[in-house]
Amino acid sequence: MVPIDALGPEGEYRTRRREVLFSTAGAAVAELSIVPPLYVARTLAAQRKAVPLPVGRRAAALSVAAGIFTDDAVAGLDFERYVTLASRISGLPIAVTRAGARSVADAVGGAFDAVRPARPQGATLDWRENGTPRGGAVWARRGEVFAVHAAGNGPGVHGLWPQALALGYRVAVRPSRREPLTAHRLVHALRQAGFRPEDAVYLPTDHVGADEIIRSTDLAMVYGGQPVVDKYADDPAVIVNGPGRAKILITADQDWRAHVDLIVDSIANLGGMACVNTTAVLYEGDPAPLARAIARRLAAIRPMPTDDERAILPTQPVENARALADHLAAKAAGSTPLLGAEQVVAELGDGYAALRPAAHLLSAPDPDKLNVELPFPCVWVSPWWRGAGTEPLRHSLVVTAITGDERLIDDLLAEPTIANVYFGPHPTWHAAPRIPHDGFLADALMRNKGFIRDNG
């Protein structure tokens, strides 16, 4: 089994308490050290004592780390062995895992470029650059230590938090047991590239230790479902990345037939496991023909083992897959199944199963169903009419609006619970450094301070 040790201020730490990690086929593949809350507290105290590296050194180290992450053997694993193991543990298809891992390296190398669009044009990152005696603004950190409770639905989530390192934060990462390898590899790469142990730590821990991480850091970013959103709703120091509930809206002036490829890609790309995968499609008109076209395309996706390069669908242990199918069946009551819960579990042998896509037709845009998000390709297709307005589209990370109606775009942009609006045929998973995810991360990490210097 591959050992996955904690990475603290004094280097690797293999704890007495360790947890065996299994592939989705049930094979024991790794052993994860679990650090106690006291170790967490001491580690974060050491991070708080460290001062940030100079901006130039941070930029150089991030650039070097990106190359180490993909090109070097790290913690005993070359890149392909890491990808294979991460895929086996998470159930994310190997080609999707590899692409996600490469996107992490790109994001690390481009971390400074990614924070620039968030910086106000009139503010400087270093007060030494603010030379006007009339004064100006300095873009300053809101704190010193930033925590991440990472998600386990793919490597790509680890492309975001290195922006905090670019801004001078010290970062503490608590990995997900569903995919702990990417964060482990990345923290190792950052240290090999020139960051100090105190700059980035890796803290696998239990729920008590997780609470200590939140309590002992200045700001934190957490991932999870609605219970996690509810838990931290009133805590301004916690940035919550909850369910995405991404949607596509097509108005009557558009021919939906021209966009079926894009819709299916938005549903099934990334294994259907990401927060940016489309959960619901709404059409101004009779949605039944559109729903049937989507279902035909999704039904053609073949279940395959995780390590098959052609695989698109995620895998789970059979017991977990059946539980997801049962949950879907309960949530789908009252809808018309085109690809129903009974066909979701595709057993592959060895105790694990691929999750076939699901598609259901609704008679009305019911938000309770439109916002049901599951970790595989699952879509709800619904009618939409002007009188419904933005109500069925609320609480969406992304709304792709395929329409010629600019007033509708105004309404979508004005709706506070819609994070991103894509005007035209753009997949909901589309991302770029200049496009915020759920706001720019730097929006929460930084603030503007007035500054005047004496040039005399």
What's residue 127's pLDDT? 84
What amino acid occupies position 10?
Answer: E
SS3 280: strand
Phi, psi of 302 (to 5 degrees): -85, 135
Give ∠ CA 151-157-158 in degrees, rounded to 5: 105
What's residue 142's pLDDT? 96
pLDDT band for position 133 (50/70/90)? Answer: low
Instruction: Please compute the mean of the pLDDT values over residues 94-102 and round it to a whole number.
Output: 98
- Order of strands, sheet of 336-339, starting from the edge strand that comes earlier in the sequence: 336-339, 358-361, 378-383, 278-283, 246-250, 396-402, 418-423
pLDDT band for position 233 (50/70/90)? Answer: confident
Q: Give the containing element (helix H, strand E) for 397.
A: strand 396-402
pLDDT band for position 134 (50/70/90)? Answer: confident
Q: 9: which 2 tokens?
A: 């201020």
pLDDT band for position 124 (50/70/90)? Answer: confident
pTM score above 0.85: yes
Tell me which CATH homologous superfamily contains domain 246-423. Answer: Aldehyde Dehydrogenase; Chain A, domain 2 (3.40.309.10)
Please say whether the beta carbons of 65 and 108 come within 8 A: yes
- What are the pLDDT digits (tens) for 378-424? 999 999 999 999 999 999 999 999 999 999 999 999 999 999 999 99
Residue 240 has, within 13 A of its CA and on its CB side, a CA count of 16
Tell me the pLDDT of the chain averaged across its residues: 95
| Nearest alpha-carbon partner for 224 in 234, 208, 238 | 238
Instruction: Please compute the mean of the pLDDT values over residues 31-57 and round it to a whole number.
Output: 96
Instruction: Please compute the mean of the pLDDT values over residues 226-240 and round it to a whole number.
Output: 91
- What are the pLDDT digits (tens) for 204-228? 999 999 999 999 999 999 998 889 8
* Residue 141 to residues 11, 62, 164, Cα–Cα distance (Å): 27, 19, 10
| Nearest alpha-carbon partner for 91 in 279, 245, 312, 301 | 312
Q: DSSP readout, 287-316?
A: -HHHHHHHHHHHHTSPP--TT-TT--S-EE
Q: Please, which residues have CB within 8 angstroms of residue 16's CB and are 6 or more apart in sequence?
A: none
Collect contacts of 388-393 with beta carbons under 8 A, ≥24 apart.
390/415, 390/418, 391/365, 391/367, 392/280, 392/282, 392/365, 392/366, 392/367, 393/247, 393/249, 393/282, 393/418
β-pairing verdict for 6-8 and 11-13 = antiparallel
What's residue 452's pLDDT? 87
CATH fold of the domain at 2-122+139-242: Aldehyde Dehydrogenase; Chain A, domain 1 (3.40.605)
What's residue 97's pLDDT? 98
What's residue 131's pLDDT? 60
Give strand pairing partners of 281.
248, 381
Rounded Cα distance, 285 and 252, in Å: 6
Please say whether the beta carbons of 204 and 33 come within 8 A: yes
What amino acid occupies position 157?
Answer: V
Rounded Cα distance, 174 and 210, in Å: 7
Residue 436 has, within 13 A of its CA and on its CB side, a CA count of 17
pLDDT band for position 448 (50/70/90)? Answer: very high
Domains of the chain by residue range: 2-122+139-242, 246-423
Rounded Cα distance, 43 and 20, in Å: 24
Q: How far apart are the first and last CA of the chain?
A: 64
Rounded Cα distance, 158 and 223, in Å: 12
Q: 379: which 2 tokens?
A: 């879509």
Phi, psi of 362 (to 5 degrees): -105, 150
pLDDT band for position 132 (50/70/90)? Answer: low
Q: Above 70 in pLDDT, residue 344?
A: yes
Torsion region of 365: left, alpha or beta (phi above 0 gives left; psi -120 to 50 gives alpha): beta
Rounded Cα distance, 146 and 164, in Å: 7
Give me the percent of the chain exceeding a pLDDT of 90.
92
